[in-house]
Structure 1
């Protein structure tokens, strides 16, 4: 760990350094959105850009790490919202609908799941970051996936499918955009049957 800079208070270890960098990124996102620079983060921390680059390869990597850290709260809220649903089809329908409805209110979730935001240099909605995030969502569901006949490979495919559905609705919400009961009825008609076969 570098020992110079840090506005006179050197982190105890690399873990603390990463936490401080993510906290600075969070402040930058709150101040001006996702278009911060590594120089801005370094200036806020009182370190050189090289120090920030030691922990994060670029601004996209830092943005993604910050968004993942912050979306933990969303995962907790989503898990509590779905904790009574044990049917895979019902849980997936409600999970997609609730996530879509939360995108506008949760800026960090939006950073992860809106094309061209966090992970902009990645292949998009099926980036490793998005797939890992999606898998962590499904693993918090109150569904017994194995009892439902969905093994790890199929669960990964389900994550991809759910992310592609979310992306589709983000890119084109429809005219008029589906919301509430209408959105859930649509997903129940066209998504749920795949989980009931």
Structure 2
């Protein structure tokens, strides 16, 4: 592993190097709203090729920074949906909260709704893992409502695809949170509850 740079303290292995690169990106995004391979390399005192070795594109780096930063967002989401046991209402509130918060969260905004958007991969393995973590923070007894692991994953994909459509085209003018909530309760809630009545 390359030993040059790193502010005089090179990482001991590739995992540490990758982690330090992501941490630098997280800090820069938090301060500036975005970053680049060159800025991250400069912050770490390494050449750009060193960063490229671990993250071949700026998109890959920004996505890793977003994943590193989701913990605080998930904590806020869990607090927002706390006490909602109805699956349809919980899903709707989760969507409304996410669509409202992501534009204000620079790390997630870059991954889901910004210049380096990953909306084309909204149902990727990484996005699905994020969605499963998100939905499992809800105060919903999913098995009691007919959701086994496979159906819960399908629900997560459905939820991600709904959010993707609003990230890409929020409407003109965009709906207010209350209007969006009413719209989702009218059209998305029945789909969420349909599992209870299916075979």
Provide the TM-score with structure 1 as the length reference: 0.86
Query: What is the SS of the residue equivalent to 2:131?
Result: helix
Cα shift readout 1:87-122 (whole Å, capped 9, x = no counterpart): 1111001000111111221122212222752447xx
Could you say which residue in structure 2 is the equivalent of 1:34? 34
In structure 2, the gaps of 5 or more residues are: 195-199
Which deviates more from structure 2 when the two are superposed, residues 105-114 or residues 12-21? 12-21
- The 8 Å contact of residues 103 and 113 in structure 2, kept in 1 or not, is answered as no
More helix by share: 2
Among candidates 158, 174, 177, match of residue 177 of structure 1: 174
Could you say which residue in structure 1 is the equivalent of 2:141? 144
Q: Shift of residue 76 of structure 1?
A: 0.8
Which deviates more from structure 2 when the two are superposed, residues 71-80 or residues 12-21? 12-21
Query: What is the SS of the residue equivalent to 1:140?
Result: coil
- The 8 Å contact of residues 61 and 119 in structure 1, kept in 2 or not, is answered as no
Q: Shift of residue 43 of structure 1?
A: 2.4
The number of equivalent residue pairs is: 194
CA RMSD after TM alignment: 2.2
- The 8 Å contact of residues 112 and 118 in structure 2, kept in 1 or not, is answered as no
1:109 lines up with 2:104 in the alignment: no
Following the alignment from structure 2 to structure 1, what is the Cα–Cα distance between the partners of residues 151 and 93?
19
Could you say which residue in structure 1 is the equivalent of 2:197? none
Following the alignment from structure 1 to structure 2, what is the Cα–Cα distance between the partners of residues 176 and 41?
37
Q: Shift of residue 190 of structure 1?
A: 0.3
Cα shift readout 1:33-92 (whole Å, capped 9, x = no counterpart): 4351x2332222112333323332322211111011112110111011112111111100
Following the alignment from structure 2 to structure 1, what is the Cα–Cα distance between the partners of residues 104 and 89?
23
Cα shift readout 1:160-194 (whole Å, capped 9, x = no counterpart): 11111112222222233212222111111100111
Could you say which residue in structure 1 is the equivalent of 2:3? 3
Following the alignment from structure 2 to structure 1, what is the Cα–Cα distance between the partners of residues 153 and 5?
43
Could you say which residue in structure 2 is the equivalent of 1:19? 19
Could you say which residue in structure 2 is the equivalent of 1:156? 153
Provide the TM-score with structure 2 as the length reference: 0.86
Could you say which residue in structure 1 is the equivalent of 2:74? 75
1:135 lines up with 2:132 in the alignment: yes
